[in-house]
Amino acid sequence: MTGAPVVELAGVSKRFGGTAGPVDALSGIDLRIERGDFVSLIGPSGCGKSTLLRIVGDLISPTTGTVTVNGKPAARARLDRDYGMVFQVPVLFDWRTVQKNVELPLEIIGSPKSERAAKASAMLALVELSPFAGHRPWQLSGGMQQRVAIARALALDPAILLMDEPFGALDEMTRERMNLELLRIWDRTGTTVIFVTHSIPEAVFLSTRVAVMSARPGRITHMVEVDLPRERNVETREMERYFELVTEVREALRAGEPPAGDGGPESGDGEPASARVRAEGLSG
Amino acid sequence: MSVALPEPPRRTAAAWVGSGIRDWLPAAVVFAGFLACWELVVVVFQVKQFILPGPLAIAAAWRAELPALWAATTYTVTEILLGLGIGVTAGILAGVLTARFVALRDSLMPFAIAANSVPILAFAPIFNNWFGIANPLSKAMIAAVLCFFPVMINTVRGLISVQPAALELMRSYAASELEVFRRVRVPNALPFVFTALRLATTLATIGAVVGEYFGAPKVSLGQYVATSFGYLSVENAWAAIVFTAAIGITLYLLVVLLERLVMPWYTAQAQET
């Protein structure tokens, strides 16, 4: 995994102006992500991890610093459709079938009809949902809806997949299956992934690197290299090294907490936009 | 990982009619019972004809007066449809502009919501004065104003109540504002607009008929009701009221039908979940 980085952040900070005075959501973020990396952003609520993800995706712009994606500014990368996004809510449109939902980005870039259909079918096959192409989103379970969202995000062969707590609303069993599923897809597509999560086990299990963040202002305090074998499966979760890494991330998180304890009220400072339902109670 | 889910059911025409009968049967029975009780009350208590005619008397009047009633209905329906056309078109256009421009939203929405709770029917004589008692446009405009505000308000709500994540998704695809409007906002607004349309059919019918009470050509349902009461041929008035009810119900059902054609996904979801 060498060569020019896919994502490079230098001196990125974000200040939100609010009625209660400005809030520093992020400060002094430097991050380099290589091609094919799987980087998780983990941290307490309000640490700005979702904000950071949105800055990389040019959904919001940083107050200071630069974001370079594939050697160009993030805004250019967005216009070039280098991103695939998956949110905590699947954002599927009920007026479209599953197939047509996956075709949406292809319609926007104006690909011909036959090409759209073929590409969407291939993506649905990748997430193993081909039999459901003609269904409506509400007829699928939460996990299946999220897999449709992943298929849609991959439809444009994006250089980077940005995922904002995509499995946060799912139950633990489904979440673990989705983790395996995502790794399989990542392996097949070779795409670079940035993954925001609240779950320590999930971050360690999925990632090549885990960026541990602290709140107010949001900073990356530790980078944990996950030196588990690339091939991961159910046994990975029982490896000694896996537990060590989980502990390492947990201790890094604790080190970033304010001494008073629980990190204060859930203000959601640096977490704009989408209404989120948080799955609290980190297990493992 | 994939669990076989049954194919969405495809209903045959026969099954559709069958379920239609099943759905409507209880209501039809209740309605027939209601008519029977009405007739019974009128006969047993010997209610005077000018207080309350029985359904049979109304039916007889209905048959005798059919040509006159039909002419009046045609006239009034023209007013209603004209009013609906003007009010709904203007309401949707105003809604689109208001949703698009935040400045308009901030300045117009409170006004629209306030106007929506004003008894606009009170303006009926003024509209007659402006557009002319004999001009169908005077009633059409009352109907139009009555429809306008609910349609506008619901259009705005439907266009702006889009999931923030949906907008972020479209932004991540570098979709133009027109694309977002076409592919996200409009389909999202449709259920809201249809809710307003259902209401609009009722409001337009009320607007036109009540407008006619304040003055209209003889060949109109409102005037027919008013003059029949004047001559104490109350069963004729009731026969005309049955026509106004039929107009309202028919228009409502037409909107429901249109709704099923335009957004089949919405009705299907309502039935399945």
In this complex, do B2 and A131 lie within 8 Å of one another by their Cβ atoms? yes
Q: How far apart are CA A196 and CA A63, in angstroms?
A: 21
Q: Which residues on A lie below 8 Å from B187 (Cβ)?
A: 93, 95
Across the beta sheet with A72-73, what order do the strands follow?
A23-33, A7-16, A64-69, A72-73
Residue A67: predicted pLDDT = 93
Residue A263: predicted pLDDT = 43
A85-89, A157-161, B100-104: least confident range: B100-104
A227-231, B13-17, B100-104, B236-240: least confident range: B13-17
| Residue A259 pLDDT class (50, 70, 90 cuts) | low
Whether pLDDT at B4 is above 60: no
Q: Which residues on A lie below 8 Å from B175 (Cβ)?
A: 108
Whether pLDDT at B186 is above 80: yes
Q: What are phi and psi of A110, to 5 degrees?
A: 75, 35
A45-49, B156-160, B181-185: least confident range: A45-49
pLDDT, tens digit (0-9, with 9 covering 90-100), for A127-159? 889 999 999 999 999 889 999 999 999 999 898
| Residue A266 pLDDT class (50, 70, 90 cuts) | very low
In this complex, do B163 and A274 lie within 8 Å of one another by their Cβ atoms? yes
List, as one string, the DSSP characters of chain A. Answer: --SS-SEEEEEEEEEE--TT--EEEEEEEEEEE-TT-EEEEE-STTSSHHHHHHHHTTSS--SEEEEEETTEEHHHHHHTT-EEEE-SS----TTS-HHHHHHHHHHHTT--HHHHHHHHHHHHHHTT-GGGTTS-GGGS-HHHHHHHHHHHHHTT--SEEEEESTTTTS-HHHHHHHHHHHHHHHHHH--EEEEEES-HHHHHHH-SEEEEEETTTBEEEEEEE--S-SS--GGGGG-HHHHHHHHHHHHHHHHHS-TTSS-S----TT--SS------S---
What is the percent of chain A where pLDDT is above 90?
52
Q: What would the mean pLDDT of B188-202 be, rounded to a whole number?
A: 95
Residue B159: predicted pLDDT = 95
Q: Which among B5, B173, B175 is the nearest to A135, CB-wise?
A: B5
Q: How far apart are CA A84 and CA A191, in angstroms?
A: 10
Whether pLDDT at A122 is above 70: yes
Beta bridge partners of A8: A32, A68
| Residue A25 pLDDT class (50, 70, 90 cuts) | confident
Q: Which of A58, A81, A91 to mutate to test the interface with B (most CBs of B within 10 A)?
A: A91
**pLDDT: is A155 or B2 the higher one?**
A155
| Residue A262 pLDDT class (50, 70, 90 cuts) | very low
Judged by CB atoms within 8 Å, which residues 212-231 of B form the interface with A?
none
In this complex, do B2 and A138 lie within 8 Å of one another by their Cβ atoms? no
pLDDT, tens digit (0-9, with 9 covering 90-100), for A227-253? 888 888 888 888 899 899 999 999 998
| Residue A258 pLDDT class (50, 70, 90 cuts) | low
Whether pLDDT at A271 is above 50: no
Q: What is the pTM of this model?
A: 0.82
Interface residue B173 vs chain A (CB under 8 A): yes
Whether pLDDT at A63 is above 70: yes
pLDDT, tens digit (0-9, with 9 covering 90-100), for A210-225? 999 988 788 898 899 9
Whether pLDDT at B90 is above 80: yes
Q: Which among B8, B164, B166 is the nearest to A135, CB-wise?
A: B8
Q: What would the mean pLDDT of B116-144 be, rounded to a whole number?
A: 89
Whether pLDDT at B9 is above 70: no
Q: Hey, what's the torsion of the CAs at A193, A198, A201, A206, to 10 degrees?
A: -10
**Nearest residue in chain B measured CA to CA from A108:** B175
Are β-strands A83-86 and A160-164 bridged in parallel, bridged antiparallel, or unpaired?
parallel
What is the percent of chain A where pLDDT is above 70?
89
**Nearest residue in chain B measured CA to CA from A125:** B2
Whether pLDDT at A272 is above 60: no
Q: Which of A61, A78, A94, A128 to mutate to test the interface with B (most CBs of B within 10 A)?
A: A94
List, as one string, the DSSP characters of A59-87. Answer: SS--SEEEEEETTEEHHHHHHTT-EEEE-
Whether pLDDT at B124 is above 90: no
The number of beta carbons lying within 10 Å of the beta carbon of residue B213 is 16
Mean pLDDT taken over chain B: 89
Residue B79: predicted pLDDT = 95
| Residue B270 pLDDT class (50, 70, 90 cuts) | confident
B105-114, B190-199, B251-260: least confident range: B105-114
Which ipTM value was assigned to this complex? 0.84
Q: Which among A57, A95, A139 is the nearest to B172, CB-wise?
A: A57
